Amino acid sequence: MSEAESSTPEPATFDIQASHVAREWKYSAPFIGCRYDPTGRYVFAASMDFTIQRWDLQDDSHTTFAAHESWLRGIGFSPDGQQLVSAGYDGKLCFWETAASPAEGQAVAPTREFSAHEGWVRWLAVHPDGKLIATAGNDLKVKLWSAETGELVQTLEGHAKHIYSLLFHPGGELLLSGDLQGVVNQWELASGKLVRSLDAKLLYTYHGGQQVDYGGVRCMALSTDGKRLACGGLHKATNPFAGVQEPLVLVFDWETGEQIRTHEATEVPRGIVWRLVYEPDGTLVGGIGGQAGFLTFWKEEKTEVHKLALPNTILDLDQHPSEFAVVTAHHDNHVRITRMTAKA
């Protein structure tokens, strides 16, 4: 680990212009996913070596969680932070004790694991009340699982292409699922019915020359006031096989379901918006990976207001539960924490 900042008290002022990399950890393999636990004590990062790596922000101690047989990008927690849930490209759903302490040199093993889907699970989301876990599979199914028992509660079918992202509405009654073709389905959990589909097809490209589907709803975020839904991904995919594209965010009015604006990111070559989060003041923060990695900040009805170049491409991002900070996963074997405050 390199410590770029002393452990002085966190300044309370949100200042995106002052954003800076505050901490970073290096591992032996690239990272493709990352999450804070709900208490903000730990950072969990998913590596290409099939493991989850945990860092304790209090003392920098480092622990390995191992059970998956493939990559994983789906990480979630029970609301109290006691239980970690992960879903991977091996189709498995694993439950873990978040704060587990294995013997020296040992990896943490899951408390429960089972096969959840045929093929990859690309996204995992935990219901706001913590009782349900949603997973999105390459089998074109969204599945809802009991967090307590692990039993399958419901299967939602309706996507024609791979499902890339999930988002529970904070009200707890709705689930959103976004797919490769830019279809965002809104499911009513009580009935299991598809109640609305939003059109995010600007994030989808069928490239006739290469005869491939490309793009998709790579991530979603709902503003803290509940009025805006943002969907991230890419557009202008002139050469999908070479990753020639530009990042794009679509913003929808939640009430009407109409797309009301787009956000682009300038000078982010070959970028993809891998994760979006809303800060409490309505600032939208995007983790964009391309030839370089950028944190990009957009305000309502404005083009990007700030952009911070990170040392390497970004493949995932998560928001600290209480501080003005984000964690990012990088291909150069690093996990980095960026504070959106002035340096102490």
Partner 1 sequence: MKCNYACNSPEHTIARRDFLGRLAAGACTMTGLSSLVHPAAAAQIAAQKKRVLSIFLSGGVSQFESFDPKPGTLTGGPFRAIPTSVPGIHVCELLPKTAQQMHRLSLIRTVNTNNNDHGLSRYQIERGHAQSATADFPHIGAIVAKGLDEGTSPLPGHIHVSSGAGSRSSNSAYLGPKYASISVGTNGGLQNSELPGGMTATINDQRQAFRRHANERFLQRRRTAETDAYVESHERAIQLMANREIFDVTKESEKCAAQYGEFDLGKQCLLARRLLEHDISFVQVSHSNYDTHAENFNFHIEQLGEFDQAFATLIDDLAQRGMLDSTLVMVLTEFGRTPNINYRYGRDHWGKGFSIALAGCGIQPGAVIGAMNKDGTEIADREVKPADLFHTYLRAIGLDPQSEFDIDGRSVPMADPTGMAVEELLA
Q: What is the DSSP string of 150-217?
A: --EEEEEE--SS-EEEEEE-TTSSEEEEEETTSEEEEEETTTTEEEEEEE-GGGEEEETTTTEEEE--
Query: Does 50 sit near partner 1 (CB under 8 A)?
Result: yes
Q: Which stretch binds partner 1 (CB under 8 A): 11-19, 66-74, 101-109, 124-132?
A: 66-74
Concatenating the DSSP letter of every residue in 44-67 gives EEEETTS-EEEEETTT--EEEE--
Between residue 181 and residue 200, which ones bind partner 1 under the rule CB under 8 A?
none
Name the residue nearer to partner 1 (CB basis): 38 or 182. 182
Residues from 207 through 266 that contact partner 1 (CB under 8 A): 210-214, 240-243
Instruction: Give 64 or 210: the residue with its C-beta nearer to partner 1.
Output: 210
Binding residue (CB under 8 A) for partner 1 from 14, 71, 114, 278: 71
Nearest alpha carbon to residue 114 among 84, 144, 94, 140 = 94
Instruction: Give the residue carrying structure tokens 């590596």.
Output: 47
- Half-sphere exposure of 229 toward its Cβ, with a 13 Å CA cutoff? 28
From candidates 31, 95, 120, 145, binder to partner 1 by CB under 8 A: 120
Interface positions, 282-311, toward partner 1 (CB under 8 A): 289, 291
Q: Compute the least distance from the CB of residue 66 to partner 1, in Å.
A: 11
d(CA 82, CA 100): 9
Interacting residue with partner 1 among 44, 55, 65, 89 (CB under 8 A): 89
| Residues binding partner 1: number (CB under 8 A) | 28
Quote the CA–CA distance of 292 and 236 in Å, as a whole number: 18
Site residues for partner 1 per CB under 8 A:
29-30, 48-50, 69-71, 89-90, 120, 138, 162, 210-214, 240-243, 270, 289, 291, 312-313, 331
